[in-house]
Amino acid sequence: MVTPTESMEALSSALDPVAVWTDGRLGAPGTKTASGLILTGTRWTVACVVDTRHAGADAGEVLGVGPLGVPVVPDFAAARRAGARSVVVGVNSMDANTVVPARLKTFAVDMVGHGLNVICSTHARLNDDPELVRLAVAAGVELVDVRVDGPRETLSADLSVDATVLLTTGTDCAVGKMTTALAVHREALSRGMRSAFLATGQIAAMCGADAVVQVDRIFADFITGAVQHAVHRLASAGHELVVVEGQAATLHRVYGGNAVNLLYGAAPDAIIMCHDTDRQVRAMFPGLPVPPVTDELQTVADLGRRVGIPATLAGFSVFGGKPFHEGNRYAVPVVNTRAPGGAAVLLDSVLRLTRHTERGRR
């Protein structure tokens, strides 16, 4: 069995290809894990999506991006026939309990019964459930808990980073920080740059990253240090660009602490602000309004300036149906990163503002 302290790296190839289970909610709120893996993941091949409501469709069409060749199937037996060896739990759980939620456990038992490994990124760990562990051992399959405890490293004033560091920031959760970071990183790689991607959340960890620091599994005292040391290690390994995935927003009353710790730990040379123009209230927290993007940007700038972090705005990555007039106030590009050429525009801006070239270092 995979214990919570083991990396999933060792088992990665043995788990491939995967099915993604969405509990009848593909494309709906609460399935960001699924859409992230389907649209941006490179760690595993997604053989199919298990979703009774959308069975028979193409996952890309359900997600509104056009056919992707990823079929939606009705059950785990069909997933096996589609070639899946594992199932990724593609629904997000906000359950704060330490036990596996009852509905998830029911489906996990079914997955195991069909001889499928189960990959789960909820806060509750499958390997902490004795019954699931017993069933998995009997079936000869693995239970893989993606969220693992992070290192206890303290911030150091003596570490210098010989690389350009880019942090994606945002006005809320689920506004494209991971997607933008991956797109810019992959654009840099396509140019022959020595770029590294630092994942800071469970979805990006499953999508594929050069390093992972799961900030919501680290004691608060050590988040900034863990991020700083990860960035330093990537730069010391020869990467000239380190792209750090941001989390939430500094003005988010629930998750703002993680956003601030990431800013302080990454100490970015440049930031990209991600924004959903249609978002009026917080994702998952409808009682909390989303402040203006200018407020979030000013807060990031003020926090960075007061502790000596450049955090220069390099551009906006936006989506949504409403026009983004706020972008007119700044002399930086405003793009939809998923649109053709969007990531290239943002990377050009980062390199120009940091006076960094594809071939040289600072």
Residue 124 is predicted with a pLDDT of 87
User: Measured between alpha carbons, how far is 296 from 265 in angstroms, rounded to an integer?
Assistant: 18
Going along 257-331, which residue ranges are E strands? 270-276, 281-282, 285-289, 312-319
Mean residue pLDDT across the chain: 94
Of the chain, the percentage scoring pLDDT greater than 90 comes to 88
Residue 118 forms beta bridges with which residues?
87, 143
Residue 43 has pLDDT above 70, yes or no: yes
Q: What is the mean pLDDT of residues 117-130?
A: 94
Residue 12 is predicted with a pLDDT of 83
Residue 360 is predicted with a pLDDT of 37
Residue 244 has pLDDT above 80, yes or no: yes
Q: Do domains 8-145 and 164-353 have the same CATH topology?
A: yes
Residue 341 is predicted with a pLDDT of 97
| pLDDT digit string, tens, across residues 162-194 | 999 999 999 999 999 999 999 999 999 999 999
Four-residue CA torsion sign, 164, 229, 122, 148: positive
User: Measured between alpha carbons, how far is 268 from 168 in angstroms, rounded to an integer?
Assistant: 9
Write the CATH number of the domain with boundaries 164-353: 3.40.50.300
Indicate the pLDDT class of residue 27, thresholds 50, 70 and 90. Answer: very high
Residue 2 has pLDDT above 50, yes or no: no
Residue 358 has pLDDT above 60, yes or no: no
Residue 236 has pLDDT above 50, yes or no: yes
Closest CA to 200 of 231, 162, 161: 231
Residue 347 has pLDDT above 90, yes or no: yes
Q: What is the mean pLDDT of residues 254-277?
A: 98
Residue 94 is predicted with a pLDDT of 58
Indicate the pLDDT class of residue 7, thresholds 50, 70 and 90. Answer: low
Contacts of 282 (CB under 8 A, 6+ apart): 172, 173, 252, 254, 288, 289, 290
Residue 99 is predicted with a pLDDT of 77
Going along 56-125, which residue ranges are E strands? 72-73, 86-89, 117-120
Closest CA to 254 of 281, 226, 276, 275: 281
Indicate the pLDDT class of residue 342, thresholds 50, 70 and 90. Answer: very high
Count Cβ atoms within 10 A of the Cβ of residue 77 and give its class: 0-12 exposed, 13-18 middle, 19 or more buried: middle
Residue 4 has pLDDT above 60, yes or no: no
Neighbours of 334 (CB within 10 A): 19
| pLDDT digit string, tens, across residues 306-341 | 999 999 999 999 999 999 999 999 999 999 988 999
Write the CATH number of the domain with boundaries 8-145: 3.40.50.720
In the chain, where the domains are located: 8-145, 164-353
Residue 11 is predicted with a pLDDT of 77
Q: What is the mean pLDDT of residues 40-68?
A: 98
